[in-house]
Amino acid sequence: MACSSASPSIPTKLTGGSHAMRTSALVRSYANIADDLHAAGYTDREIAGIKTDIDHYIKLREIIRKASGETIDLKAYEADMRHLIDTYIEADAPRKISPFDSMTLLELIVNSGIANAINNLPEGIRSGKDAIAETIANNVRSKIIKEQLNDPAFYGNMSVLLNEIIADLRAKRIDYEEYLKRIGELAKHVQTGKSEDTPARLDTPGKRALYNNLGKDEDAALKIDAAVKKVRPDGWRGNQPREQVIKGALYEVLQDIDEVERIFLIIKAQKEY
């Protein structure tokens, strides 16, 4: 992609959830009266104008949702929305509302590369470098925030790297192409939860989280993983006596009460335990 003389900035993050829900409410409200608009006194021209406005807000909803790194799962509602849109607004062949289908932007970057991921963005985003840069940054940051408690050390470092990349772009220390290259690599690490130098034996998110938060001590991470899996009682989360069993296993390895409490929170956040 060609580089322009002016580097894109990263504006304040958009928020998509409330806009998406209001748009859905608008479409449903319109559908309830669409067949009676003539009887209500609207002209053909006015009805066409209303349809155009609603179509505009539907497209805007998608642009905001993708640009903001929206995490609300709307797939359960899309079939219903598609029916309403097809029936009362477009009347052409059904098509997917979400250009990402069931994949997130970061999943697209990992699976097919950043260029293809950009090509799958809504037209209102991919037409401008600023919007593309902001959208990718917002999606990366959204994933970091979501996963922060699962692996504080790793995602804390990813947050620092993201801020550095954005700062370099704003200060024009890197151009747009270099920004895409760097943030594309960062997005892969954020999505997969690991770096290239992560040891192969750390083959689960839990093992990697322990490794990252134990000063990259591979042996200690594997010992704790095995110890917890050996003693964990069923339904231990939120049950103090059963949680003490986990903490006892941690103490056998760590020999430090403060470390036990710190690592216990990470264990508690891992689904595999």
- Whether residues 185 and 125 fall in one domain: yes
Q: Is residue 260 part of a domain?
A: yes
Contact 88, 32 (CB under 8 A): no
Q: Following DSSP, what letter does each residue of 144-178 receive, concatenated?
A: HHHHTTT-HHHHHHHHHHHHHHHHHHHTTSS-HHH
- Whether residues 173 and 244 fall in one domain: no
Q: Following DSSP, what letter does each residue of 100-154 receive, concatenated?
A: TTT--HHHHHHHH-HHHHHHTS-HHHHT-HHHHHHHHHHHHHHHHHHHTTT-HHH
Q: Looking at residue 272, what DSSP letter applies?
A: T
Q: Which domain holds residue 123?
A: 105-192
Q: Is residue 219 part of a domain?
A: yes
Percent of the chain with pLDDT over 90: 47
- Whether residues 116 and 146 fall in one domain: yes
Mean local confidence (pLDDT), 184-204: 94
Predicted pLDDT of residue 52: 79
Q: Is residue 165 part of a domain?
A: yes
Q: How confident is the model at residue 183 (pLDDT cuts 50, 70, 90)?
A: very high
Per residue in 198-216, is it b (16+ CB within 10 Å) or e — as a string? Answer: beeebeebbbbbbbbbbee
Mean local confidence (pLDDT), 120-135: 84
Q: Which of 193, 195, 215 is nearest to 204 (CA)?
A: 193
Distance CA 105, CA 90 (A): 27
pLDDT tens by residue, 214-255: 999 999 999 999 999 999 999 999 999 999 999 999 999 999
- Whether residues 218 and 182 fall in one domain: no
Q: Is residue 82 part of a domain?
A: yes
What's this model's pTM, rounded to 2 decimal places? 0.65
Q: Looking at residue 232, what DSSP letter applies?
A: P
Predicted pLDDT of residue 66: 59
Q: Is residue 153 part of a domain?
A: yes
Last residue of a domain, one of 40, 66, 90: 90
Distance CA 150, CA 206 (A): 8
Last residue of a domain, one of 58, 90, 122: 90
Q: How confident is the model at residue 259 (pLDDT cuts 50, 70, 90)?
A: very high
Predicted pLDDT of residue 256: 95
Kindly report the average pLDDT of the chain as a whole number: 80
Q: Which of 260, 68, 266, 254 is nearest to 156 (CA)?
A: 266
Predicted pLDDT of residue 19: 57
Q: Which residue has the higher pLDDT, 26 or 180?
A: 180
Mean local confidence (pLDDT), 254-258: 95
Helices 105-112 and 129-147: angle between axes, nearest 10 degrees: 100
- Whether residues 82 and 112 fall in one domain: no
Q: Which residue has the higher pLDDT, 123 or 175?
A: 175
Whether pLDDT at 213 is above 60? yes
Q: Is residue 161 part of a domain?
A: yes
Q: Which residue has the higher pLDDT, 272 or 54?
A: 272
- Whether residues 77 and 118 fall in one domain: no
Q: Is 39 helix (H, G, I), strand (E, B) or coil?
A: coil
pLDDT tens by residue, 8-59: 544 444 445 555 566 667 666 666 676 677 777 888 888 778 777 777 777 6
Residue 181, CA distances (Å) to 45, 97, 113, 176 in order: 48, 29, 10, 9
Q: Supply the Cα-derived Rg of the chain in whole angstroms.
A: 24
Last residue of a domain, one of 67, 90, 113: 90
Q: Is residue 168 part of a domain?
A: yes
**Total structural domains within the chain:** 3
- Whether residues 67 and 120 fall in one domain: no
Q: Which residue has the higher pLDDT, 200 or 121?
A: 200
- Whether residues 185 and 133 fall in one domain: yes
- Whether residues 79 and 110 fall in one domain: no
Per residue in 12-26, is it b (16+ CB within 10 Å) or e — as a string? Answer: eebebeebbeebbee
- Whether residues 168 and 233 fall in one domain: no
Predicted pLDDT of residue 138: 87
Percent of the chain with pLDDT over 70: 71
Q: Is residue 50 part of a domain?
A: yes
- Whether residues 137 and 166 fall in one domain: yes
Among 30-39, 149-158, 190-199, 257-266, which is the least confidently predicted range?
30-39
Contact 110, 188 (CB under 8 A): yes
- Whether residues 231 and 265 fall in one domain: yes
Q: How confident is the model at residue 74 (pLDDT cuts 50, 70, 90)?
A: very low
